[in-house]
Amino acid sequence: MKGFLHNKKALAGLSIIVFFGLVALLAPLLDPYNPNDFNFMPWLGPSSAHWLGTTGQGQDELSWLLYSARDSMLIALSTAGVISVVQLLFGIFSGYTGGLTDGVLSTVTNVFLVLPGLPLLIVIDAYLPNKGTVTTVFILTITGWAWGARVLRSQAISLRDRPFMEAARMSGERRWRIVLFNVVPNMFGVLAANFFGAAVYAVLTEAGLLFLGVINVNTISWGSMLYWAQAGSAMLENKWLPMLLPGVCILLLGTGFGLLNFAVDEVADPRLRRG
């Protein structure tokens, strides 16, 4: 943990995430207007009343931009959380149990690893009648769990034969106790790295699906801001700020989670550290 806070990448990543976290929490206070207020003139340019102008539907762009931090943070953290739980269960069952269970589960992972995620997401979405946040987290989990699961599995396998595990088994510890107190704590490093990796994936993928308009575009979100800019031909109106800024936010938030992912890896694997 001490090494983590001395790591430059970790500090940079953490600052970005804390910044967006604060914006998300304080959005109602920071917002000059309600982002769902459609009562302004559409496509106004930047002015003192509307710093970033208004959308094609007559909403205040700045309010939309700030409030969107909520949606991305919510999707990132909840998807990463669900994916981590799935990966942990999977890694333990597959790696620690071994045998036929492992064979079947590994094959399932391999299948999901090679299936291209975005087309699958789009096709599932096309059939889904209801497209709320829970559905989004659910489908992001389906397409995003496999990558980290494999890493957790190899970690579980390497733990299985360590002396302290042997000792725990010999002393007659119950199986769930061994898993809970000996296996899980030793997986925290990998699990944390995977968590941040999944968060990057969730932020980018959700924004992409919103941009394409295949999930609910009425969500106040950076992806939907880009969707409406595209749908309302912001380009022809020369409104480049509403196209530039949401992308910058997505990029920054994604980079923040990515830096944390990288930093955890470095702290856990000394070989990656700067020599």
Partner 1 sequence: MRYIIRRVLLLLLTGWAALTINFALPRLMPGSPIQVMAAKYTGRLTPSALAAIAQALGLKNKQNVFVQYWTYLGHTLTGNFGYSLSEYPTKVSTLLAQNLPWTLGLVGFATVVAFVLGTFIGAVAAWRRGSLFDSIVVPTGMMLAAMPSFWISTMAIYFLSYKLGWFPLFGGSSSGSLTSVAGLGSILSHAALPAMVLAVISLGGFMLVMRNTTVSVMSDDYVKFARAKGLRNFTVASRYAARNATLPVVTNFALALGTVVAGTIFVEYVFSYPGIANLLYIAVTSEDYPLMQAIFLVIVLAVLLANFVADMLYVVLDPRIRVGGRA
* Chain residues in the site for partner 1 (CB under 8 A): 107, 110-111, 113-120, 122-129, 147, 200, 204-205, 207-208, 211-214, 226, 230, 235, 240, 243-244, 246-247, 250-251, 254-255, 257-259, 262, 271-272, 274-275
Q: Which is nearer to partner 1, 183 or 198 (CB)?
A: 198
Q: How many CB atoms lie within 10 A of CB 90?
A: 22
Task: Give the closest residue to 228 by CA, choosing from 215, 238, 217.
Answer: 217
Q: How far is the CB of 253 from partner 1 (least distance, A)?
A: 8
Identify which of residues 183 and 256 has a Cβ nearer to partner 1 in the complex: 256
Give the residue with the Cβ less far from partner 1, 66 or 139: 139
- CB of 54: closest distance to partner 1 in angstroms? 19
Which CB sits closer to partner 1, 259 or 267? 259
Considering the complex, what minimum distance in angstroms separates the CB of residue 2 from partner 1?
Answer: 22
C-beta of 168 vs 220, nearer to partner 1: 220
* Least spacing, CB of residue 235 vs partner 1, in Å: 5
Please, which residues bridge with residue 8 across strands?
A: none
Specify whether the backbone of 45 is left (phi greater than 0), alpha (psi in -120 to 50) or beta: beta
Shortest distance in whole angstroms from residue 13 CB to partner 1 = 10
Question: Which residues face 54 on adjacent strands?
Answer: 60
Give yes or no for a contact between 20 and 256, defined as CB atoms under 8 angstroms apart.
yes
In angstroms, what is the minimal distance from the CB of 204 to partner 1?
A: 6
Query: What gap in Å lies between CA 151 and CA 87, rounded to an integer?
Result: 9
CA 135 from centroid of its chain's CA atoms: 15
Other C-beta atoms lying within 10 Å of the C-beta of residue 171: 8
* CB nearer partner 1, residue 102 or residue 173: 102
Contacts of the segment 17-24: beta carbons below 8 A, 24+ positions apart? 17/253, 17/256, 17/257, 17/260, 20/69, 20/72, 20/73, 20/249, 20/252, 20/253, 20/256, 21/73, 23/66, 23/69, 24/69, 24/70, 24/72, 24/73, 24/74
